[in-house]
């Protein structure tokens, strides 16, 4: 299977922030931003694998700066690392104050997707290679994030076993 450049999965989405997108602090509602993040990340994963993909985990979403109604929000995503059937997708969120043109990184996120065959079984994906300095940085640090993901997933499985209950209300 031939390797692919990170840039082959790059996606960009720009949206205006409307009053209906705001929370009680008059900033972009975090759930709305998370919806945007999962949407664009899934497209990057699908572009890379060229088969159906499913979100395996949202590894992190870090809200760094508020996004206001006077801003536009630009999300950029790409596959930053691959396992056998899994893909780490990085999403960078940049807010632009439309009246001044000032921009700042408002959030970053890492998500993991798994490629699926026609029977919904995991399928091998092409390896990825970085080209830009940002892509190289993320690629070089991906091994540690993958290790943390495995540990976190195992802890989540163990916790779920302890939480399983037939009760509707506790």
Domain locations along the chain: 4-163
Supply the pLDDT for residue 163: 87
How confident is the model at residue 170, as a pLDDT? 53
pLDDT of residue 45: 98
Q: Tens digits of per-residue pLDDT, 109-130?
A: 999 999 999 999 999 999 999 9
* pLDDT, position 160: 87
Q: What is the pLDDT of residues 29-79, one digit of tens each?
A: 999 999 999 999 999 999 999 999 999 999 999 999 999 999 999 999 999
Burial class (CB in 10 A: 0-12, 13-18, 19+), 41: buried
Contacts of 6 (CB under 8 A, 6+ apart): 78, 79, 80, 128, 129, 130, 131, 132, 135, 139
Q: What is the pLDDT of residue 168?
A: 62
Q: What is the CATH number of domain 4-163?
A: 3.10.129.10
Instruction: For residues 145 and 81, give the distance between their C-alpha atoms in angstroms, rounded to a whole number.
Output: 10
Per-residue model confidence (pLDDT) at position 162? 86
Whole-prediction pTM: 0.91
pLDDT at residue 11, as a whole number: 98
Return the pLDDT at 1: 82
Question: Averaged over 99-108, what is the pLDDT?
Answer: 98
What pLDDT, on a 0 to 100 scale, did the predictor assign at position 169? 59
pLDDT tens for 145-162 read: 999 999 999 999 899 888
Question: Are the CB atoms for 24 and 79 separated by under 8 Å?
Answer: no
């Amino acid at each position: 299977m031939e390797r692919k450049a990170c840039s082959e999965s790059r996606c960009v989405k720009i949206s205006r922030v409307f009053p209906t997108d705001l929370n009680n602090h008059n900033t972009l509602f975090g759930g709305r931003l998370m919806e945007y993040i999962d949407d664009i990340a899934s497209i990057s994963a699908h572009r890379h694998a060229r088969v159906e993909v499913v979100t395996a985990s949202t590894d992190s979403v870090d809200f760094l700066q508020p996004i206001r109604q006077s801003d536009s929000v630009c999300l950029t995503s790409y596959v930053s690392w691959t396992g056998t059937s899994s893909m780490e997708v990085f999403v960078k969120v940049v807010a632009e104050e439309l009246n001044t043109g000032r921009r700042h990184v408002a959030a970053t996120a890492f998500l993991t997707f798994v490629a699926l065959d026609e029977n919904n079984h995991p399928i091998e994906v092409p390896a990825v290679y970085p080209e830009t300095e940002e892509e190289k940085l993320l690629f070089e640090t991906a091994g540690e994030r993958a290790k943390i993901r495995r540990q976190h997933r195992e802890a989540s499985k163990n916790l779920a076993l302890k939480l399983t209950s037939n009760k509707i209300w506790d």
